[in-house]
Amino acid sequence: MFRNPWFWIAIILITIGISLTVALDVFNWLLVALVAAILVILGVFFWAAYRVGRVETPLVPHLQKVPKDERLSVIYDCDVTMGLPFRDVCDGMALLYILGEPRLDLRMVTTTYGSSSVRRTARMARRLLQAMDQDDVAVIPGAASPAERAEDNRAARYLRDVVDTHRNRIDLVATGSLTNLKHAVALDEHFFKKLRSLYLLGGLTERLVWNGHRLAERNFSLDPEAAYLAIHADCPVTIVTGHAGLTAIFRSPQYAQLQSLDDPVSRFVAQEIRFWFALMRLWFQDDGFGMWDALPALALAHPEFFEAQQVYVTSTPDELAKGRLHVDPSRYGPVTLVTGVRDFDPLITALFAAWRRLGRRVSAGRARERRSKQ
């Protein structure tokens, strides 16, 4: 922050403004007006954060345990920022979903840059796992930029080794920049071929406009060379496009349902997403936020919830630098393109059910720990 010239420009302008008001003897009136404006802004923000109404507790199914040999082994490559102010929360929602979904078995988390620096995303991932008493899940920080060397990328080395050890048994879900995957391929040219499947978030087939706000693509465009390699990976590839997120808006009815659940994970999520919910609710005027990063993991466990088509993606790296996905609809291709959510209510129920199951595990573990200390 202190290295940003705009910070110092703002400080200089504020200093000049205060000096002028003192010189003109209107400082007291300005102070009153400023306090009033701040109170109004805070009032509007708290209204947006807490006014979601009341609902009856939703019927959330009790998820049955799935035998370990039937579960999908998942590596989650992401830029988690849940817990940081003014940052997206969807990666965190996805991570907690993977932990609670009985069909999925989280092997490790690798972090990348995107929503924040790789140092911060690794810290936020560890924070979430510690909050869920899942310290045994490794968090491996990866590349900080596309320009780094593959040999220096710790996450890429782990990806290479784990995937090589568990050939054709790992489903890799990637919801941030894809540099870690590019580096894993640089370390092992057969890396993608050894995966069971690859689920990606990114790309736009047309302009992405949400209530008059045009949104930029911030996944594939961060490292277009890596995106090109991943799209053409020698394994089944599923891409959740940016447009799919606009069919999965987490609005006040869903927030009210979440608040009515009484397990520790649901309460934790409700608290962690409140600031982002209010911010997006006010900015986009659509009563909530898009759950972009949560969708690839949900598509892995519940493909029946989504609209999808098989396509050939013909985008060049230069086009991917702008986040553009060009597809050939006339050819049945190797890429599954998820364009939207077919069944939103069951999707939300699946999300809540996984969080509640994780909450029961957390509560049971803490109860055992208390008994052992007595």
Residue 86, domain member (yes or no): yes
221 and 75 in one domain? yes
Name residues whose C-beta falls within 8 Å of residue 300's C-beta, 6 or more positions apart in sequence: 72, 74, 104, 171, 173, 197, 199, 238
Q: What is the pLDDT of residue 331?
A: 77
pLDDT digits (tens, 9 = 90+) for 115-140: 999 999 999 999 999 999 999 999 99
Q: Are residues 186 and 105 in the same domain?
A: yes
pLDDT at res. 234 = 96
In terms of domains, do 112 and 14 share one? no
Residues of the chain with pLDDT under 70: 1-39
CATH for 198: 3.90.245.10
Q: What does the pLDDT read at residue 19?
A: 67
Instruction: Determine the pLDDT at residue 5.
Output: 53
Q: If you search the block for the tokens 């929602």, which residue do you land on?
A: 93
User: What pLDDT is recorded for position 3?
Assistant: 46
CA 374, CA 365: separation in Å to the nearest integer?
15
pLDDT value at position 330?
77
Residue 240 corresponds to which tokens in the numbers above? Answer: 């959740």
Tell me: the pLDDT tens digits for 2-43?
444 545 555 565 666 666 666 656 556 666 666 666 667 778
In a domain, 15, yes or no: yes
- In angstroms, the CA 265 to CA 366 distance is 13
The amino acid present at 241, given as its one-letter code, is T
162 Cβ contact partners less than 8 Å away, ≥ 6 residues apart:
75, 107, 108, 170
Give me the sheet containing 306-313, strands edge to edge.
138-141, 104-111, 72-78, 170-174, 197-201, 237-240, 335-341, 306-313, 327-328
Assigned domain for 63 exists: no
Residues 120 and 173 in one domain: yes
DSSP class of residue 102 equals: T
On whether residue 153 sits in a domain, the answer given is yes
Residues 24 and 101 both lie in one domain: no
pLDDT of residue 2: 45
Q: Helix crossing, 224-231 with 179-187: angle to 10°?
A: 70
Would 37 be classed as within a structural domain? yes
The answer to whether residues 37 and 128 belong to one domain is no
Residues 140 and 201 in one domain: yes
- Count structural domains, the chain: 2
Beta strand 335-341 with 170-174 is unpaired
Interhelix angle 154-165/179-187, rounded to 10 degrees, is 60
98 with 13, same domain: the answer is: no
pLDDT on residue 23: 61
Q: Are residues 23 and 123 in the same domain?
A: no
Q: Is residue 171 part of a domain?
A: yes
Neighbours of 173 (CB within 10 A): 28
Considering the domain architecture, whether residues 18 and 128 belong to the same structural domain is answered as no
Residue 175 lies in a domain: yes
CA atoms of 337 and 221, how far apart (whole Å)? 17
- Domain range for 23 is 5-50
For residues 41 and 175, state if they share a domain.
no
DSSP 23: H
In this prediction, residue 280 carries a pLDDT of 95
pLDDT of residue 9: 55
Q: What's the length of the chain?
A: 374
CA distances from 118 to 10, 25, 29, 202 (A): 28, 49, 45, 19
Q: Mark whether 158 and 213 lie in a shared domain.
A: yes
CB–CB of 73/169 below 8 Å? yes
